[in-house]
Amino acid sequence: MGFRFRKSFKVAPGVRVNLGKKSASVSFGVKGARHTISSTGRRTSSIGIPGTGLYYTKSKYAKKPGSKPKLTNNQEYVDPFQEVEEFNELIEYILSFHKECDYNYDWEAIAKEQPPFNAEEKGPNEAAALDKLNNYEPNVLGKFFKIFNNRHREELEEEVKKAREEDKKLYKAWENRRKISQSILKNDPKAYMILLEDIQFFKELSGFINSLKIQALEDDVMIIEYDINIDEVIPSYYKTLTKSGKLSIRKYNKTDYYAIVKGYVSSITFRIARNIFGLLPINTVIINTQTEVLNTQVGRIDNITILSVKIDKNTLKEMNFDLIDPFDALNNFEHNVKFLKTKGFQTVEKLYESIS
């Protein structure tokens, strides 16, 4: 079995030098955007939208080993098959938000959850640590040198203290879950809002959603209003392979571009609805989707509502999310939307106007 040599050290903020047996490289950047340049000629960029788990990785070579290089204008090799595959995966991802749900809470089961241990007795962590302490037998060194024996016992006693604290946290967490579940099952709007804040609702969609407002009403209705990020997410170009296997990059025509925007906006809307129903025992959610557009008449950025929909839980449960077209599926619910093939979403009125 061969040994591998690799060493990495920091030379400046955000910059690291990596030394291997056959090559060296320099990596730099920040979280969500890292770039690596290797002595072999390979350059790798990994760019992600924080909090989404979505990363776009691209590798280029100054020369492709074992074959005649295909060069671009900047004289770097680009793997056309990988470029097209990664591009198609990105488009598929942003059109498939509705197929997933980030939460599935059973509050009745949580409310019936038994305590982790009897509060009047020792917890499982403390019991295990005490058992380890009580069954401790000094090794040869400990038998001859008392100082080693005492030191090890002190370490075991310290483990018991830490274990006791862990059990306190374990029991406290159970008490909090029980308290929250009881409030949730009573349909307490304040409890809803506390929970949404505690779990950082929408963290899975950060980067796609810029701002968020939530309001829980007394009549089992929740209103969600958010700004969706379109321009920084939807690419203005597309990538394909030519018949000879070369990479082709072309700008979308307006119809194809707005078709992707249409699917993206409606797909995220259903993801939000699924998330809220999977998290809270409510029956109706009103979702207002907003975005920023340039008002060319006065030269300012306006925030407009492009989709407002009232979704009920029972109808949503009957939908097959793997087969639906999310924009067409809006017709199952009361909604306001105006979409033009060559201009995209237009301003519409909100179904409910109570969020301040």
Residues 226 and 315 reside in one and the same domain: yes
Residues 3 and 140 reside in one and the same domain: no
Residues 100 and 122 reside in one and the same domain: no
Q: For residue 349, give both structure tokens.
A: 């009125």
- 109-151: per-residue pLDDT in tens? 999 999 999 988 999 999 999 888 888 776 545 455 565 567 7
> In the structure, what pLDDT confidence band is assigned to residue 60 with cuts at 50, 70 and 90?
low
Residues 317 and 343 reside in one and the same domain: yes
Among 20-34, 120-134, 193-207, the least confident range: 20-34
Within a domain: 342: yes
Residues 227 and 175 reside in one and the same domain: no
Q: So what's the pLDDT on residue 249? A: 94
- 140-191: per-residue pLDDT in tens? 454 555 655 677 778 888 999 999 999 999 999 999 889 989 999 998 888 8
Between the alpha carbon of residue 231 and those of residues 49, 122, 236, 249, 265, the distances in Å are: 14, 57, 9, 18, 12
CA 3 to centroid of chain Cα atoms:
37
Within a domain: 190: no
Q: Is the pLDDT reported for residue 268 higher than 70?
A: yes
State the total domains in the chain: 3
Q: So what's the pLDDT on residue 256? A: 96
Contact 211, 244 (CB under 8 A): no
Q: Tell me if residue 305 falls in helix, strand or coil.
A: strand
Between the alpha carbon of residue 6 and those of residues 11, 23, 66, 129, the distances in Å are: 16, 10, 25, 38
Residues 221 and 297 reside in one and the same domain: yes
| CA 150 – CA 138 distance, rounded (Å) | 9
Within a domain: 14: yes
Q: So what's the pLDDT on residue 211? A: 85
| CA 229 – CA 210 distance, rounded (Å) | 6
Q: So what's the pLDDT on residue 72? A: 47
| CA 235 – CA 260 distance, rounded (Å) | 9
Q: So what's the pLDDT on residue 40? A: 59
Q: Where a domain ends, among 185, 215, 237? A: 185
| CA 247 – CA 61 distance, rounded (Å) | 15
Tell me what the mean pLDDT of segment 70-91 comes to.
75
Residues 224 and 296 reside in one and the same domain: yes
Residues 314 and 256 reside in one and the same domain: yes
Within a domain: 339: yes
Reported for 320-328, long-range contacts at CB under 8 A and 24+ positions apart, including other chains, are 321/98, 321/99, 321/270, 321/274, 322/99, 324/98, 325/263, 326/98, 326/263, 326/266, 326/267, 326/269, 326/270, 327/262, 327/263, 327/266
Q: So what's the pLDDT on residue 220? A: 85
Q: Is the pLDDT reported for residue 286 higher than 90?
A: yes
Overall pTM > 0.75: no
- 299-331: per-residue pLDDT in tens? 778 889 999 999 999 999 999 999 999 999 999
Q: So what's the pLDDT on residue 155? A: 84
Tell me what the mean pLDDT of segment 59-68 comes to.
47
Residues 142 and 280 reside in one and the same domain: no
Residues 206 and 329 reside in one and the same domain: yes
Residue span of the structural domain in which 154 resides? 113-185
Within a domain: 254: yes
Within a domain: 320: yes
Residues 266 and 320 reside in one and the same domain: yes
Within a domain: 354: yes
Helix (H) or strand (E) holding 110: helix 107-111
Residues 98 and 162 reside in one and the same domain: no
Q: So what's the pLDDT on residue 31? A: 56
Reported for 216-221, long-range contacts at CB under 8 A and 24+ positions apart, including other chains, are 216/189, 216/190, 216/192, 216/282, 217/189, 217/354, 218/189, 220/187, 220/282, 220/283, 220/284, 221/282, 221/283, 221/284, 221/285, 221/286
Q: Is the pLDDT reported for residue 63 higher than 60?
A: no
Q: Is the pLDDT reported for residue 51 higher than 50?
A: no
| CA 29 – CA 15 distance, rounded (Å) | 7
Q: Is the pLDDT reported for residue 79 higher than 60?
A: yes
Contact 331, 315 (CB under 8 A): no
